[in-house]
């Protein structure tokens, strides 16, 4: 009884071991190659459960999705002898598992080959363009040229390079500070030139404004003198006409104006002779009288 159970257990174990060595699974994102003693026998791309010979065959599984490869930073010299440290990355896919296995065998070896191809292409193509093309709109065309060249070489080991991009392009650390200082000096020089131009323009505008102000003031004064002279002339003419129409009244009117101006201030003290010309109308009754002469005397008769 015990021997029968042990024998059955051994048979079941052998069946399980043989079954696990016979069956294998390919996922949706995988592809594989069936190898017999290291020789490729079959390429399997369809997902599902598959069979192989136990113990003498094994399966190499490869990813068939788009894979990312990040290349280590490399120092590259542009055509204008400017040095750059460039980080690049590439997207690739294993399109032919058989060629891939025969050429490189594993993804680690494939990545090393891609790194060498990418570095060689970058040095060769970036070395033909100036630094400004790497950091300007020409960068897109440059990346496409690098991808084309890398892909042409990568197809030989069953890999399709879909895209190549520059992640970062920096100047070497020993050059960054010197270039920064040179850029700072250049910007300071441009700032001084702009300030000098602004000061010159400011002086020009200020001088033009002063000249315009002087001209306008001169013209205004000239016009005011002309207007004042015309007004004085008109006033003299009117006074002359008024004086000619009634000399006695004009003399009286001018005398009253002199009284008002002389006696207007409350703190004014005037000492004069009672029989002076200035008090002529005050000595007569209400400024009129039969025996008082109203003829002009001295400056009081002048307008």
Per-residue pLDDT tens for 15-74?
666 656 788 888 999 999 999 888 888 889 888 888 888 878 888 899 999 999 999 888
The distance from CA 277 to its chain's CA centroid, rounded to whole angstroms, is 89
Q: Where in the chain is the domain with CATH 3.30.479.30?
A: 67-177
The CATH code belonging to domain 67-177 is 3.30.479.30
Are 95 and 154 spatial neighbours (Cβ–Cβ below 8 Å)? no
pTM of the model: 0.54
Q: What is the percentage of the chain residues whose pLDDT exceeds 90?
A: 34
Residue 7 has pLDDT above 70, yes or no: no
Mean pLDDT of 98-123: 91
Question: Of 118-122, 210-214, 273-277, 283-287, where does mean pLDDT reach its minimum?
Answer: 283-287
Q: Cα angle vertex 163, ends 161, 167, to 5°?
A: 125
20-36, pLDDT tens digit by residue?
678 888 899 999 999 98
Whole-number pLDDT of residue 210: 92
Whole-number pLDDT of residue 15: 64
CA distance between the termini of the chain: 164
* Nearest partner of 75 among 111, 126, 35, 40, judged by Cα: 126
Tokens of 303: 């307008």
Long-range contacts of 23-30 (CB under 8 A, 24+ apart): 23/49, 23/50, 23/51, 24/49, 24/50, 24/51, 24/52, 24/59, 25/49, 25/50, 26/50, 26/61, 29/63, 29/64, 29/65, 30/61, 30/62, 30/63, 30/64
- In the block, tokens 């542009």 appear at 78
Residue 296 has pLDDT above 60, yes or no: no
Residue 182 has pLDDT above 70, yes or no: yes
More confident residue, 182 or 216: 216
Whole-number pLDDT of residue 278: 61
**What integer best gives the mean pLDDT of the chain?**
81
- Give the burial class of 210: count Cβ atoms within 10 A of its Cβ; 0-12 exposed, 13-18 middle, 19 or more buried: exposed
């Amino acid at each position: 009884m015990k021997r029968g159970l042990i024998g059955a257990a051994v048979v079941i174990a052998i069946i399980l071991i043989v079954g696990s060595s016979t069956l294998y699974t390919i996922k949706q994102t995988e592809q594989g190659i069936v190898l017999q003693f290291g020789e490729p026998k079959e390429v399997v791309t369809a997902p599902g459960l598959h069979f192989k010979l136990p113990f003498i065959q094994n399966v190499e599984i490869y990813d068939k999705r788009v894979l990312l490869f990040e290349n280590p930073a490399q120092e590259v010299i542009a055509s204008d002898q400017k040095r750059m440290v460039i980080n690049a990355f590439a997207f690739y896919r294993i399109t032919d598992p058989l060629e891939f296995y025969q050429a490189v065998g594993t993804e680690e070896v494939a990545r090393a080959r891609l790194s060498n191809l990418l570095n060689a292409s970058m040095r060769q193509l970036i070395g033909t363009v100036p630094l400004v093309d790497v950091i300007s709109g020409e960068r897109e065309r440059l990346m496409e040229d690098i991808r084309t060249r890398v892909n042409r070489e990568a197809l030989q080991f069953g890999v399709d390079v879909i895209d190549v991009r520059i992640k970062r392009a920096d100047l070497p650390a020993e050059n960054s500070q010197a270039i920064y200082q040179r850029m700072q000096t250049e910007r300071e020089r441009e700032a001084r030139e702009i300030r000098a131009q602004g000061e010159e323009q400011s002086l020009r505008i200020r001088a033009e404004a002063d000249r315009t102000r002087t001209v306008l003031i001169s013209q205004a004064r000239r016009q005011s003198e002309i207007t004042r002279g015309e007004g004085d002339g008109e006033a003299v003419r009117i006074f002359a006409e008024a004086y000619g129409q009634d000399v006695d009244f004009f003399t009286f009117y001018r005398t009253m104006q002199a009284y008002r101006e002389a006696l207007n201030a409350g703190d004014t003290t005037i000492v004069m002779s009672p029989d002076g010309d200035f008090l002529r109308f005050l000595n007569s009754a209400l400024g009129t009288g039969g025996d008082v002469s109203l003829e002009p005397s001295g400056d009081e008769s002048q307008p």
